[in-house]
Chain A
Amino acid sequence: MSRGMHGRRGVVNVDRKLDKDVLKRLLKFTLKNNKIQLFIVIIAISISSVVSVISSLFMKTLIDDYITPLTLQSNPNYAPLKQALSIMFMIYIFGIFFNFLYQKILIKVSNGTLRKIRDDSFEHMQTLPIKYFDTNPHGEIMSVYTNDIDTLRQLLSQSIPSLFSSIITLTSIFISMVTLSIPLTLVSLFMVGIMNLALQWIMKKSKKYYIAQQSNLGKENGYIEEMMEGVKVVKVFNYEEEAINNFEKLNDNLFHSSFNANKYSTILMPIMGNLGNISYVLSAAIGGYLAIKLNSLTIGTLASFLTLNKSFTMPISQISQQFNSVIMAMAGAERIFKLLDEESEINDGKVVLVNVKDVNGQLVECEQCTNVWAWKHPDHDGKERLVLLKGDVRFHDVTFGYVPEKVVLKNINLYAEPGQKLAFVGATGAGKTTITNLINRFYDIQEGSITYDGIDVKLINKNDLRRSLGIVLQDTNLFSGTIKENIMYAKHDASDDEVLNAAKLANAHGFIMQLEHGYDTIISSDGSPLSQGQKQLLSIARAALANSPVLILDEATSSIDSRTEKIVQEGMDKLMSGRTTFVIAHRLSTIKNSNVIMVLDNGEIIERGDHQSLLKEKGTYYKLYTGLLEND
């Protein structure tokens, strides 16, 4: 882990014009697999919107054309009414059917799209280089899955369909309005303009507070996170009151912005609705003047127009209600696409690992597992060369920095012959862990070369390279599941015996058997109910089962006390025998028997040699060993 590279928790950036590209891309993504379905949806929405317009107009027709005539008949004939109602009944059923149809399809489309986005994000995330995970706060990556993808739900299943149906409704009403009276339509349009202005004003306000709310949520979240992590320290220091006071300040800010953000988005409805009412009054007054004083409009037309005017302003308030969800979805989509646009790790190595057997001193590739492996190296002339996997690792003038400006390792040269044990010691930031990050190509070097069995690691397929390296890390990383599943992580087809042997080798067998459910004990991803040391033993067992020729142990025994470490050490020694091993150790007693010990300082190897010779040198190693210098 490269330390000190964690950014601050990001604040959602919603203060920007609706990013049309994001919306376009999102729609494209949705369309990709659902062209036919969406086509049906559009038709179905259109039909159901038209049906609802017809039904709102029908009531007037019903009264004027059917019921009023009935009252004038001396012998009322209900047959035409019956017929009209039957037709309307059919139209209604038709409308309901299409409404149901489009919603049903939309559920599939929107959830299918969300699922696809989820799968794609996860799949893409797995291809990203370690650098991505080192430079982005994990909480932020998680939030793509927990928050951002869900912001799209409302957009896809509600906002877009309702926008679409509102537009259809608006258009059909607008056309009817124009045919009834152009001057009155202009009045309505004028009011629509005012509604638009009001909408923009409120949106601006609510957006401002919305942004403040998001940033305050982030700050408060951060403070809670820190205080929860350190809650035991808080208690030991009687710091509760201070913590509460600090928290209250943040909480007040959050309250203020959250209150205003909600308030402004809530007053949208009454404002829009009542502007609609004003529009109605204006149309009635001007229309009444036109009809009664100027006679340029029939009374019937005016009455119909007023009905339409009422239905005209409704969809506009409906659209305005969707705005917040659109803003949120755009911000969410932007972050999702940012993840999807991150560049994947490139894996173009042609050299692969194959099973081989020895036939008369010649290596021959074979299908079945022989436990003998070789690198298959395609040569320039198209022929393939087999190189036995031995575990010979060399660094030639390697220079590296996590960022180009800051070199972490300078001109490193080292040779690890098969079966040798190499150790790295040095102070914090000397570059010990960095070296191990380079062998498995978690990071690529800027200058020099690293070879594995004589082959430049850049030529080797990354998956095969990593398969040939066993690793035990500083932070134990276990997965939720049984203990057995965790040990079998690297080798899913391992037999029970193999698992048992690996656990015994790591001296984990003893404590596992003491657990109530033994190897089937379920552990959570933070490792509970195991102790730090027990978790470490499990990750050693996991590496033991992987059985790779090269091992990297990064502070593998840091959490184990020296007495337990002695027990673990035996297992580790067994594990290391015959394997090339790179060890970074906090406690120097564990590396005394290394073939070569390298002392790193500021990215350079300043001393190298075995334990005895380094002690004789009386240099940095001597100081570290005798505790005169801090080895972190």
Chain B
Amino acid sequence: MIKTIAKEIKEYKIPSIIGPIFMALEVVSELMLPLFMGFIIDRGINAKDITLVYKYGGLMLLFAFLSLSFGYLSAHFGTLAAAGLAKNLRSSMFRNIQNFSFKNIDKFSSSSLITRMMTDVTNTQNAYQMMLRMGVRAPMMLVIATFMTFSINKNLSVVYIYAIIFLGTAIIIMVYFSYKAFKQVFKKYDFLNSVVQENVSNIRVVKAYVKEEEEINKFKKISLSLYNAILKAENITVLNSPIMQLTVYMVIIALSWLGASMIVSNTLTTGELMSMFTYTMNILVSLQMLSMIFIMLIMSLASMERISEILNEDSDITNPVNPIYEVKDGSISFKDVYFKYYEDSIEYVLSDINLDIKSGETIGIIGGTGSSKSSLVQLIPRLYDVDQGSIKVGGIDVKDYDIKTLRDEVSMVLQKNILFSGTIKENLRWGDKNASDEELVKMAKLAQAHEFITSFPDGYDTYIEQGGTNVSGGQKQRLTIARALLKKPKILILDDSTSAVDTRTDAFIRKAFREELPNTTKLIISQRIISIMDADRIVVLDDGRINGIGTHKQLLKTNNIYKEVYETQHKEGGEDNE
């Protein structure tokens, strides 16, 4: 997992290396400063030598300036490396998600993908920045300060060994328990957030059924258990500071007691004892810093894990080794196709599908909810792969094509369709980024969208809000059809894409398809019989199996499901009045 993350450092390797180097230099120059402070007092002021005061003062200024410069540089490179890592992580995640197959996408909810790309990356960025800075500073301080104490007085320094062992053990125990406790806290957080989310989006139901009280009580219960979990966790970490202080104070007292007799026996000077006191602080502060880094790293592990999940998720639909870049024609052939969404499901969503479609043919597909109409057509552009059997387009197995080529030739208007924020033109150009304005107009006309587009004050430059909220359902569908047409595909699939379009316009669209796109294979899924009744052939799906194939007239005679649907839609009034 760490490896996955570390791979994303890429071009920020150099800052990641020189940042810590400058940090080390900063620590060294910083640790020189107490030395000069001592000299100013001992050699200058106590010895009444003002020139030495100025001299050491000057040196101190020099080192302060050095420490400042190194500090600036280490801050610059450290934050650069961390921000760079965050940039690369986001970019790689986004790229990988773009490579996901539908099956991969179904695994992660979009809100979880957003949290991973935003919050988790920020956590990782902070942890990395901390590692590059404090992670260098603390051990450096620890090593240099310990070295200094040993060089001053070996015997006295034994005190530090005991202190470090004591503090180290205490910190490890604490980190272990607090990590466990914080894991619980995060779980409760997630739960609390999901309850809030649910209430915000379902507020109409809550209010309609007058459930405010109950929801509040539910929330308060969760908030209480979160509170208890946090208290439990923080009551462990709160021990950190008293243990730390206890160690510092005990070390000072031990140093004073042992040091006093050494001074008396002339094996230690008072100045040296003072320096030992200063290094005591350095050693213990660095130990505490280390424990903090440790806790932060452990906490960010969860975030890193969630990021790696995305980075390591391999698309289960990949390009073949020697892909074919040309689709010959728009013929489609299903042979003994079986398909299910999840490996562990027992039942297949599609079973025993055998279907041959000629290039240029118009096929209507009809069937009840859950009859797997959408699943059937999604297999053609390889949005999902079949579990058994094969699908051929233009006589060649879809798995042998270059995916991009295949999807360019098989244009699909999805059932849950989406327009993106931007102008109508920009949205249409999704189909063909180089399309001329004339082409846009031509395809918009085919999709019966030109008329309403030009009725907007800004015409083709009308800005579409996120999610397409400022156009009506039917207009949205026509725009998405025009967008799909701009790809000039060999196969066009409409998955219930005219449900909100009025029947007259719907008929115009079909007429335009017939006349203008005679060579394009058209697959039309609809719940309205009227939208598919003039297709060359109609496929009736039931429970993932083909229940009947034929023309409208044939099916009316032979297929019960078809007949039933036709009658519910056309029995009363409707037809007579048409």
Contact = CB atoms under 8 A, between A and B. Distances in A.
Nearest to A441: B207
Given A59-B274, A122-B216, A564-B368, A96 B44 contact: no
Interface string A284-312: 11011101110000010011001000100
B323 interface: no
Contact of A303 (B45, B369, B564): B45
Contacts of A59: 252, 274, 277
A230 B411 CA distance: 16
B102 interface: yes
Contacts of A492: 214
A155 B133 CA distance: 24
B26 to A, nearest CB: 7
Contact of A122 (B37, B82, B113, B219): B219
A269 B79 CA distance: 14
Contacts of A229: 110, 418, 467
A233 B60 CA distance: 64
B35 interface: no
Nearest to B568: A566
B83 to A, nearest CB: 4
Nearest to B542: A563
A446 interface: no
B83 A262 contact: yes
B45 A292 contact: yes
A228 B114 contact: yes
Given A306-B41, A627-B504, A630-B502, A70 B264 contact: yes
Given A231-B105, A240-B98, A111 B211 contact: no
Task: Say what secondary structure dominates the interface of chain B.
Answer: helix
Nearest to A243: B98
B151 interface: no
A122 B196 contact: yes
B577 interface: yes
B80 interface: yes
Interface residues of B, number: 157
A76 B219 CA distance: 70
Contacts of B527: 561-562
B208 A466 contact: yes
Contacts of B249: 55, 88-89, 92, 96
Contacts of A123: 216, 219-220
A613 to B, nearest CB: 12
Which of A66, A237, A478 has the most chain B CB atoms inside 10 A of its CB? A237
Interface string A112-134: 10110011001101110010010
A231 B97 CA distance: 9
A492 B45 CA distance: 83
A586 B528 CA distance: 13
Nearest to A285: B57
A248 B205 contact: no
B167 to A, nearest CB: 14
A266 B414 contact: no
B234 A238 contact: no
A492 to B, nearest CB: 7
Contact of A71 (B219, B226, B263, B416): B263
B139 interface: no
B569 A3 contact: no
A115 B86 contact: no
Contacts of B80: 259, 263
B374 to A, nearest CB: 11
A563 B540 CA distance: 12
A232 B431 contact: no
Interface in A518-562: 525-526, 531-534, 546, 560-562
A224 B121 CA distance: 14
B208 A560 contact: no
Contact of B210 (A67, A463, A562): A463
Contacts of A100: 238-239, 241-242
Given A247-B94, A259-B79, A630-B472, A237 B487 contact: yes
B125 interface: yes
B277 to A, nearest CB: 5
A244 interface: yes
Contacts of B519: none
Contacts of A531: 369-370
Contact of B211 (A3, A238, A478, A489): A489
A384 interface: no
Given A142-B196, A238-B407, A477-B202, A231 B110 contact: yes
B197 interface: yes
Contacts of A55: 249, 252
21 contacts: A67-B259, A85-B257, A96-B249, A111-B231, A125-B199, A142-B197, A145-B193, A222-B466, A224-B117, A228-B113, A231-B110, A233-B418, A277-B61, A277-B67, A281-B40, A288-B44, A291-B48, A293-B50, A466-B210, A589-B568, A627-B504
Given A103-B238, A104-B235, A477-B202, 9 more contacts: A67-B263, A81-B256, A82-B257, A123-B216, A224-B117, A232-B383, A281-B57, A525-B202, A626-B574
The 7 closest A-B pairs by CB, nearest first: A627-B503, A270-B71, A228-B110, A259-B83, A288-B53, A428-B472, A477-B202
